[in-house]
């Protein structure tokens, strides 16, 4: 057992200190931080030119309503309807001290149409916000003629579709949708991490084999100790990296997001995202499937490397294993569509697919017993796969030359005593 | 197995497909000696050492090590330097040696201390924190040699340890091997350089074409072979040298060495020479060199490459 730890330690230190590990680990948080910083900066640099919105109200009743409804990223400015004032605001637009101005007239009250005068069309989001403010204000004016102001106010600020579940189990619809999205993101991270670190195990085995270091090591360390130590060592590297990412994302969301919202009030809704961040249960399942999936596939990748003598050979031989990791991705859209269909359920219980399929299904409302069952299946499969892979590894690492054929491989498995 | 034998091979045979790499090899390596396994390229030396190290399994016969379970003994008590120099190229020198010491049972600190001493001694003290791949080939070889001996093994198995080293470093390595020998370590090494073996070995085993030609203590072999080589200096034609007694003729400094067949009558050659009219200045039975012993017993053609291409051997190593 001591040897296993010595191997783990070597593998871990060697990989964590690697330049690419450091770059890769910092890249993700840096990218997120970059996006936040960029959008905050662009907001800070947004000049009055973009913020100030002169409004010419020919209808005479709309200005206050529209101005009140515009989000705080606009600074509405009332323009008098005198020819001098009109000429002046047009001049400002031509000189580009403002990006444009909005004209409301009598027709706005009947058709909801308004005109933006500027040197270029406003951004889609800006346009939608102006449109909402204008249309709702127009409606308010029209409805107030017959109904009481308070009723109209309620109606115009409403417009939500509430969801009420008919069963006891199903989660709230909004939570489910966001849960699925989080689950999808989680599945993609699992897919990536299993592939990246499975391949790292493969390269590590191959490196020892092609450099023949293994011939020296294997006289002092038993093959199963070397293989186990390697898989656990690389696994610890993976956990370190994913842990750093998780920590960074959490920090960015809890510390960085409010900062961002402070700069961009129109993103205020984003803070609601926080409440949908995966609960502890989902996090446990994520980590469990990561560990199980990694153990399963890294043993397969170790066996693949043991069979091969060159990098090129390994690249070819690993394909079936990689395909096995990828298959769930092909079905991801059907799974997202209906996480509880027969197809989704069956896929999630196939041990090679469970790590990637089960997390979105769980967040999409799959029962916990299915999660548990898939884990039991996986543990059994890992036992079998590790047994076979261990035997292939044991014979393969000391063999040089051509790759074994399938019958030869079978003989290795049978004869490695 | 008697306690004064470190390694014993009993009827060991290894085949790679159709080709037999080692045939029915018997070998006893006494404890505490320097033992040379000699033979031309492809004669089966590396295969033999790999079987002793458990990297290959003999098809027939047994390998015994220090009178115990070979797997246990290899784990901590043997140092093996393979022919193909394997190192973790991207690891730092000191860390690599620490790791090698640790897997052989040393505590990390102890391994680091010993690695440091060795590196200083071999002139690599300034390279401790460098990556192995930044070292020259000769330096890498030294690092690997340190890795082989860092746990102070009872048994050293070195496959062509001197190849690729310059003469100065060959001497350094020879000194270290002698030093281990003085401390009681059993040393088995393979080489195709007869002259080197002659200087270093107490015992030798000569193999050719997968089979043992002869083995034993070097001084006994030389004594046995005393009647086998004649040094001749002469003027005149050399036609008389060849004859039924002579296995081969070697040109040496001034004159020739005649390697005789087993039990040949050297006086017959002398008579033939006198009759041929050659002027013979010198005709003396001399102690043969290892090289000459080898050629007498294996025949001149045995010196040539006698084996399969290496890649083919490996491809079938486990099948």
Q: What is the pLDDT of residues B129-178, one digit of tens each?
A: 999 989 988 888 889 999 999 999 989 999 988 887 888 888 888 899 99
Of all residues in chain B, the percent with pLDDT exceeding 90 is: 20
| More reliable by pLDDT, B1 or A414 | A414
Which residues from chain A sit within 8 angstroms of residue B310, using beta carbons? none
CB A59 within 8 A of CB A106: yes
Check A6 against B103: CB less than 8 A apart: yes
Min Cα separation B205/chain A (Å): 24
pLDDT in tens, A82-114: 888 888 888 888 888 888 888 888 888 888 888
pLDDT in tens, B46-60: 889 988 888 888 888
Q: Are residues A228 and A252 in the same domain?
A: yes
Which residues from chain B sit within 8 angstroms of residue A218, using beta carbons? 55
| More reliable by pLDDT, A236 or B284 | A236
Q: Are residues A272 and A202 in the same domain?
A: yes
pLDDT in tens, B224-280: 777 778 888 888 777 787 777 787 787 777 788 888 777 777 788 888 888 887 888
Average pLDDT, chain B: 82
Min Cα separation A411/chain B (Å): 9
Which residues from chain A sit within 8 angstroms of residue B148, using beta carbons? 216
Tell me if A206 is assigned to some domain.
yes
Which residues from chain B sit within 8 angstroms of residue A313, using beta carbons? none
Chain B residue nearest residue A226, CA to CA: B103
CB B281 within 8 A of CB B19: no
Mean pLDDT is lowest, of A376-380, A384-388, B46-50, B215-219, for B215-219
- The reported pLDDT for the residue numbered B164 is 79
Q: Are residues A410 and A262 in the same domain?
A: yes
Q: Does A412 touch chain B (CB under 8 A)?
A: yes
Q: Are residues A150 and A195 in the same domain?
A: no
Which residues from chain A sit within 8 angstroms of residue B147, using beta carbons? 216
Check B314 against A399: CB less than 8 A apart: yes
Min Cα separation A323/chain B (Å): 28
CATH assignment of the domain containing A61: 3.40.190.10
Tell me if A28 is assigned to some domain.
no
Residue A120 φ/ψ, nearest 5 degrees: -150, 160
Check A217 against B55: CB less than 8 A apart: no
Is A73 a residue whose pLDDT tops 50? Answer: yes
Least CB–CB distance from A220: residue in B82, B104, B311: B104
SS (H, E, C) chain A: CHHHHHHHHHHHHHHHCCHHHHHHHHHHHHHHHHHHHHHHHHHHCCCHHHHEEEEEECCCCCHHHHHHHCCCCCEEEEECCCHHHHHHHHHHHHCCCCCEEEEECHHHHHHCCCEEEECCCCCHHHHHHHHHHHHHHHHHHHHHCCCCHHHHHHHHHCCCCCCCCCCCCCCCHHHHHHHHHHHHHHHHHHHHHHHHHHHHHHHHHHHHHHCCHHHHHHHHCCHHHHHHHHHHHHHHHHHHHHHHHHHHHHHHHHHHHHHHHHHCHHHHHHHHHHHHCCCHHHHHHHHHHHHHHHHHHHHHHHHHHHHCCCHHHHHHHCHHHHHHHHHHHHCHHHHHHCCCCHHHHHHHHCCCCHHHHHHHHHHCCCCHHHHHHHHHHHHHHHHHHHHHHHHHHHHHCCCCCCCCCHHHHHHHHHHCC
Tell me if A291 is assigned to some domain.
yes
Chain B residue nearest residue A409, CA to CA: B319
Residues 129-168 in A contacting B (C-alpha not used; CB under 8 Å): none
Which residues from chain B sit within 8 angstroms of residue A400, using beta carbons? 311, 314-315, 317
Q: Are residues A132 and A187 in the same domain?
A: no
Chain B residue nearest residue A10, CA to CA: B99
Q: Does ipTM come in above 0.95?
A: no
Query: Domain of A141?
Result: 46-156
pLDDT in tens, A108-119: 888 888 888 887
Is A259 a residue whose pLDDT tops 80? Answer: no
- The reported pLDDT for the residue numbered A8 is 93
Q: What is the total count of domains within chain A?
A: 2
Q: Name the domain boundary from A156, A186, A204.
A: A156
Q: Which two tokens stand for residue A355?
A: 């790590």
Q: Are residues A405 and A324 in the same domain?
A: yes
Which residues from chain B sit within 8 angstroms of residue A399, using beta carbons? 314-315, 317-318
Integer CA distances (angstroms), B224 to B76, B206, B214, B227, B229, in order: 39, 15, 12, 7, 11
Tell me if A364 is assigned to some domain.
yes
- The reported pLDDT for the residue numbered A175 is 62
Q: Name the domain boundary from A107, A126, A156.
A: A156
CB A373 within 8 A of CB A358: no
Check A412 against B102: CB less than 8 A apart: no
- The reported pLDDT for the residue numbered B316 is 41
Q: How many CB atoms lie within 10 A of CB A240?
A: 15
Q: Are residues A122 and A200 in the same domain?
A: no
Check B316 against A7: CB less than 8 A apart: no
Q: Name the domain boundary from A156, A190, A209.
A: A156
- The reported pLDDT for the residue numbered B304 is 43
What average pLDDT does this structure show over B68-83?
Answer: 82
Check B86 against A400: CB less than 8 A apart: no
Tell me if A40 is assigned to some domain.
no
- The reported pLDDT for the residue numbered B317 is 41
What average pLDDT does this structure show over B79-98?
Answer: 88
Min Cα separation B122/chain A (Å): 21
pLDDT tier at A263, thresholds 50, 70, 90: low
- The reported pLDDT for the residue numbered A247 is 84
Which residues from chain A sit within 8 angstroms of residue B85, using beta carbons? 212
What average pLDDT does this structure show over A213-237?
Answer: 90
Whole-number Å distance between alpha carbons of A283 and A29: 19
Which residues from chain B sit within 8 angstroms of residue A213, using beta carbons? 86-88
Min Cα separation A398/chain B (Å): 7
Q: CA A243 from chain center: how many Å?
A: 15
Q: Are residues A148 and A248 in the same domain?
A: no
Min Cα separation B145/chain A (Å): 11
For residue B92, give the DSSP letter. B
Tell me if A161 is assigned to some domain.
no
Min Cα separation B18/chain A (Å): 17
Check A221 against B103: CB less than 8 A apart: yes
Q: Are residues A235 and A334 in the same domain?
A: yes
Q: Are residues A85 and A145 in the same domain?
A: yes
Which residues from chain B sit within 8 angstroms of residue A412, using beta carbons? 318
Whole-number Å distance between alpha carbons of B49 and B60: 15
Size of interface A-B (CB pairs under 8 A): 79
Tell me if A1 is assigned to some domain.
no
For A348, half-sphere exposure in the C-beta direction (CA atoms, 13 angstrom radius) is 30
Q: pTM, whole model, 2 decimals?
A: 0.75
- The reported pLDDT for the residue numbered A45 is 60
Tell me if A249 is assigned to some domain.
yes
Whole-number Å distance between alpha carbons of B3 and A410: 41
Q: Are residues A236 and A373 in the same domain?
A: yes
Q: Does A398 touch chain B (CB under 8 A)?
A: yes
Q: Are residues A396 and A260 in the same domain?
A: yes
Question: From edge to edge, which strands make up the β-sheet containing B186-191?
Answer: B78-81, B155-159, B186-191, B34-38, B203-208, B211-217
pLDDT tier at B307, thresholds 50, 70, 90: very low
Average pLDDT, chain A: 83
């Amino acid at each position: 057992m001591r040897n296993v730890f010595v191997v783990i330690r070597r593998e871990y230190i060697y990989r964590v200190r690697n330049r690419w590990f450091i770059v890769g680990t910092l890249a993700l948080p840096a990218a997120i931080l970059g996006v936040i910083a960029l959008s905050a900066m662009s907001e800070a640099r947004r000049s009055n030119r973009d913020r100030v919105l002169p409004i010419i109200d020919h209808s005479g009743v709309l200005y206050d309503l529209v101005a009140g409804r515009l989000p705080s990223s606009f600074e509405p400015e009332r323009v008098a309807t005198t020819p001098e004032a009109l000429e002046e605001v047009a001049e400002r637009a031509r000189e580009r001290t403002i990006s444009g101005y909005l004209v409301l007239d009598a027709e706005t009250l009947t058709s909801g149409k308004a005109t933006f005068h500027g040197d270029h069309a406003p951004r889609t989001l800006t346009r939608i916000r102006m449109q909402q403010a204008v249309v709702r204000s127009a409606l308010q004016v029209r409805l107030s003629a017959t109904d009481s102001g308070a009723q109209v106010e309620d109606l115009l600020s409403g417009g939500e579709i509430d969801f009420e579940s008919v069963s006891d189990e199903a989660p709230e619809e909004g939570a489910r949708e966001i849960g699925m999205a989080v689950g999808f993101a989680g599945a993609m991270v699992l897919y990536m991490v299993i592939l990246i670190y499975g391949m790292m195990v493969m390269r590590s085995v191959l490196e020892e084999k092609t450099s023949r270091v293994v011939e020296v090591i294997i006289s002092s360390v038993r093959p199963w100790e070397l293989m186990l130590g390697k898989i656990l060592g690389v696994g610890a590297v993976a956990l370190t990296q994913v842990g750093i990412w998780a920590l960074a994302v959490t920090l960015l969301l809890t510390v960085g997001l409010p900062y961002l919202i402070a700069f961009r009030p129109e993103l205020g809704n984003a803070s609601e995202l926080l409440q949908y961040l995966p609960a502890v249960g989902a996090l446990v399942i994520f980590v469990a499937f990561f560990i199980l999936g990694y153990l399963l596939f890294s043993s397969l990748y170790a066996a693949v490397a043991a069979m091969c003598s060159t990098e090129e050979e390994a690249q070819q031989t690993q394909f079936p294993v990689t395909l096995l990791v990828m298959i769930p991705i092909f079905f991801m859209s059907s799974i997202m569509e209906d996480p509880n269909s027969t197809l989704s359920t069956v896929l999630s219980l196939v041990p090679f697919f469970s790590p990637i399929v089960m997390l979105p299904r769980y967040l999409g409302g799959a029962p916990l017993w299915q999660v548990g069952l898939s884990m039991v299946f996986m543990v059994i499969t890992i036992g079998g796969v590790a047994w076979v892979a261990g035997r292939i590894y044991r014979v393969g690492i000391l063999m040089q030359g051509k790759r074994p054929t399938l019958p030869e491989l079978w003989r290795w498995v049978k004869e490695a005593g | 197995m008697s306690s004064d034998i470190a390694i014993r091979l009993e009827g060991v045979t290894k085949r790679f497909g159709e080709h037999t790499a080692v045939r029915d090899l018997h070998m006893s390596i006494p404890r505490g000696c320097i033992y040379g396994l000699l033979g031309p390229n492809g004669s089966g030396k590396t295969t033999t050492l790999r079987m002793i190290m458990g990297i290959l399994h003999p098809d027939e016969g047994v390998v015994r090590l220090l009178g115990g379970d070979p797997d246990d003994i290899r784990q901590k008590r043997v140092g093996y330097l393979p022919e193909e120099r394997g190192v973790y190229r991207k690891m730092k020198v000191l860390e690599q040696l620490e790791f090698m010491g640790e897997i052989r049972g040393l505590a990390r600190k102890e391994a680091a201390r010993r690695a440091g001493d060795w590196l200083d001694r071999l002139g690599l003290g300034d390279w401790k924190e460098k990556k192995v791949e930044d070292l020259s080939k000769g330096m890498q070889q030294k690092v690997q040699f340190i890795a082989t001996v860092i746990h102070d093994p009872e048994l050293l198995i070195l496959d062509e340890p001197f190849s690729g080293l310059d003469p100065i470093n060959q001497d350094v390595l020879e000194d270290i091997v002698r030093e281990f020998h003085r401390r009681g370590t059993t040393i088995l090494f393979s080489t195709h350089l007869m002259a080197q073996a002659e200087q270093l070995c107490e015992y030798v085993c000569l193999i050719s074409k997968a089979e043992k030609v002869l083995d034993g203590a070097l001084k006994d072999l030389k004594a046995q072979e005393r009647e086998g080589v004649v040094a001749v200096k002469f003027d005149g034609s050399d036609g008389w040298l060849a004859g039924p007694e002579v296995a081969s003729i070697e040109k040496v400094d001034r004159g020739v060495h005649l390697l005789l067949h087993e039990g040949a009558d050297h006086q017959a050659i002398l008579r033939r020479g006198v009759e041929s009219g050659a002027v013979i200045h010198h005709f003396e039975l001399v102690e043969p060199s290892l090289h000459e012993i080898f050629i007498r017993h294996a025949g001149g053609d045995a010196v040539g490459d006698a084996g399969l291409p290496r890649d083919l051997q490996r491809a079938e190593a486990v099948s």
